[in-house]
């Protein structure tokens, strides 16, 4: 079945440094969604990408969907301590989401 792999599993950065997490699939994805889960919290929707090569920005966050629709990335510029949490990508055709394993971001002040 469809699998979504996400790397890295963990990332520690100094506040102000950039951060990127990558999501990869061996099959073409119809869409990709990104969620953020704070420690002890639940996944909160960030954005959805559906078009090949699509790029969307939310303030310091940049989301990309690959041309082949098999990979995606989330890039955070100049991280802040409020960015701490686990970032998940997910994809699904029928509504149910298949999630990656997540990338946990730690930011040192």
Part of the chain binding another protein (CB under 8 A), chosen from 14-22, 44-52, 55-63, 71-79: 44-52
Part of the chain binding another protein (CB under 8 A), chosen from 14-22, 56-64, 74-82, 95-103: 95-103
Number of H helices, E strands in the chain: 0, 11
Nearest distance in Å: CB 79, another protein = 21
Instruction: Draw the binding track, 55-74, toward another protein (x: CB under 8 A; -: no contact).
Output: --------------------
Nearest distance in Å: CB 64, another protein = 16
Q: Which of 14, 42, 59, 82 binds another protein (CB under 8 A)?
A: 42
Nearest distance in Å: CB 101, another protein = 5
- Minimum CB distance to another protein smaller for 24 or for 77: 24
Return the SS3 of 87: strand
Neighbours of 14 (CB within 10 A): 9
Nearest to 43 by CA among 92, 90, 8, 96: 90
Contacting residues for 64 by C-beta, under 8 A, at least 6 apart: 49, 53, 54, 55, 72, 73, 75
């Amino acid at each position: 079945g469809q699998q979504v792999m996400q790397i890295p599993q963990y990332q520690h950065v100094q506040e102000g440094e950039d951060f990127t997490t990558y999501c990869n699939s061996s099959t073409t994805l119809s869409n990709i969604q990104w969620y953020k889960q704070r420690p002890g919290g639940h996944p909160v929707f960030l954005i959805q990408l559906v078009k090949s090569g699509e790029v969307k920005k939310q303030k310091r966050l940049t989301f990309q969907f690959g041309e082949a629709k098999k990979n995606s990335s989330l890039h955070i510029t100049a991280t802040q301590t409020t960015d701490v949490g686990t970032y998940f990508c997910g994809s699904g055709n029928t509504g149910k989401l298949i999630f990656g394993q997540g990338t946990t971001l730690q930011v040192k002040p």
